[in-house]
Amino acid sequence: MGNFPLMPEQASTFAGPYDVLFLVTTILTVVFTGLVSALVVFFALRYRKGNKVNRKGAHDEHLPLELTWTILPLILGLVIFFWAAALFTHMRSAPKDAMEIYVIGKQWMWHIQHPDGVRENNELHVPLGKPVKLIMISQDVLHSFFIPQFRVKQDVIPGRYTTLWFEPSKVGRYNLLCAEYCGTQHSEMGGFVEVMEQAEYQKWLASKGARNFDQKLTMEKAGEAIYKQYNCAGCHEANDSIRGPSLAGLFGKVVALEKGDSVTADNSYVREAILSPNDRLTKGYIASMPTYKGQITEEQTLQLMAHIKTLGVAQPKPTMAPAVSPPAGSTDPSVPDVRPTGTPE
């Protein structure tokens, strides 16, 4: 309690530009508040009743003055708008080479899954100086992923993916918070983000893997197991068949739909196509696929999609994880069950 913190630490590449804009807006606020307040106080004192001052020639209206104080704030406002819009566009456009990490929000914890299988709860470890893209979904109510020291925030919503990216610029431990009210323990839904030197981060990944060696499975491998378990390949063969379209190279492709329109296959579309396949049927197919809603958890859906992304790709990306395949369907006992509950709690 001894000190008066005035601004949050700057720990991502956004923080600097953000704070400049914040500061300029603050200067505008202070200048305008000061100016008008000073005028009000000055007028109140100078023209106080009984003061013998010149009151001749007071106006009721004055068009040039009206236009000045209409147009000037408008211009200043628009300058701030364009500046903020440019920065916002930057903050919303993740670089292509960003490292992807998956986040599942649930009452009242953050569950985080790294592509190579390392999982953590209420903690997020990221390497310094490398863009990170989070792909996030909630399995119950609204949450919001907030790291004040990075100046980033994004709502995490049930039923659709949202993304968030940042590039950590300073080693340290920062707050990870939930900013969207989510029920009883909303204020305790959080933990920390740890930014590590690249080498430290690799070490951490490896040791984290060693600790849970038995369950260590890349997301792609885990997805492959689910793919097999539900026999997805029975219908979705390497080439389009009568029963189902091929999934090879699906991501990023424009899919023509039965209703006549089309959609670009992204995370949200593929998730929907797994959980409610009949909502948007691919052109030329009938509604024969069963729905997997309630059978596949959000976590499994993410793994399944990681696997589908490898289909039809000649050389699957090498991953750091040791190629061990534990029995399908096994789950990490250290991770609380993130299975969606069918009924509201």
Partner 1 sequence: MKEETNSMPAHDAPQVNYLNWSHTVKSWLLTGDHKRIAMLYLISVSAFFLVGSAAAGLIRLELTSPRGVLLENETYNKIFTMHGVVMVFFFLIPAIPAILGNFLVPLMIGARDLAFPRLNLLSWYVYMAGGVCAVIAMMTGGVDTGWTFYTPYSSMYSKSQVVWAICGAFFAGFSSIFTGINFIVTIHKMRAPGLTWFRLPLFVWAQYATSVIMILGTPVIAITLLLVVVERTLHIGIFDPKLGGDPVLFQHLFWFYSHPAVYIMILPSMGVISELMACFSRKRVFGYSFVAFSSLAIAALGFLVWGHHMFVSSQSMYQGMVFSIISTVVAVPSAIKVFNWTATMYKGSIRLETPMYYALGFLGLFLIGGLTGLYLSSMATDIHLHDTYFVVAHFHYVMVGGTIMGYLGGLHFWWPKMTGRLYSEFWGRLSAILVFLGFNATFMPQFVVGYLGMPRRYHYYYLMPEFQIWHVLSSFGSILLAVGFMLPAFYLTWSYLKGPKAGPNPWNATGLEWTTQSPPMSHNFDEPPIVTEEAYAYDAEAEEAEDIEEAPAAKPAHAPKPAGG
d(CA 297, CA 329): 12
For residue 50, the minimal CB distance to partner 1 (Å) is: 6
Q: Which of 11, 13, 16, 44 binds partner 1 (CB under 8 A)?
A: 44
Q: What angle do CA 36, 41, 47 make, to 5 degrees?
A: 120
Shortest gap between Cβ of 208 and partner 1 (angstroms)?
A: 23
The whole-angstrom separation of Cα 294 and Cα 62 is 67
Site for partner 1 in 103-162 (CB under 8 A): 107, 140-142, 144, 146, 148-149, 151-155, 157-160, 162
Taking the complex as a whole, the smallest distance from the CB of residue 187 to partner 1 amounts, in Å, to: 4
Q: What is the DSSP string of 163-196?
A: EEEE-B-S-EEEEEEE-S--STTGGG-EEEEEEE
CB of 10 to partner 1, least distance (A): 11
Chain position carrying tokens 């989070």: 134
d(CA 42, CA 51): 13
User: Does residue 287 interact with partner 1 by CB under 8 A?
Assistant: no
Structure tokens at 141: 């109510």
Nearer to partner 1, 86 or 256 (CB): 86
CA 121 to chain centre: 16
Q: How many residues bind to partner 1 according to rule CB under 8 A? A: 94
69, 76 in Cβ contact below 8 A? no
CB atoms within 10 A of CB 225: 21
Which positions from 2 through 31 interact with partner 1, judged by CB under 8 A?
A: 3-8, 18, 21-22, 25, 28-29
| Closest to 142 measured CA to CA, from 111, 179, 113 | 179
> From residue 180 to residue 199, what is the string marking binding to partner 1 with x (rule CB under 8 A)?
xxxxxxxxx-xxx-------
We find the least distance from the C-beta atom of residue 305 to partner 1, in angstroms, to be: 17
Indicate the residue among 116 and 167 with the shorter CB distance to partner 1: 167
Q: Which is nearer to partner 1, 69 or 213 (CB)?
A: 69
Residues 64-103 within binding reach of partner 1 (CB under 8 A)? 65-66, 69-70, 73-74, 77-78, 80-81, 83-89, 91-92
Question: What SS3 state is found at 126?
Answer: strand
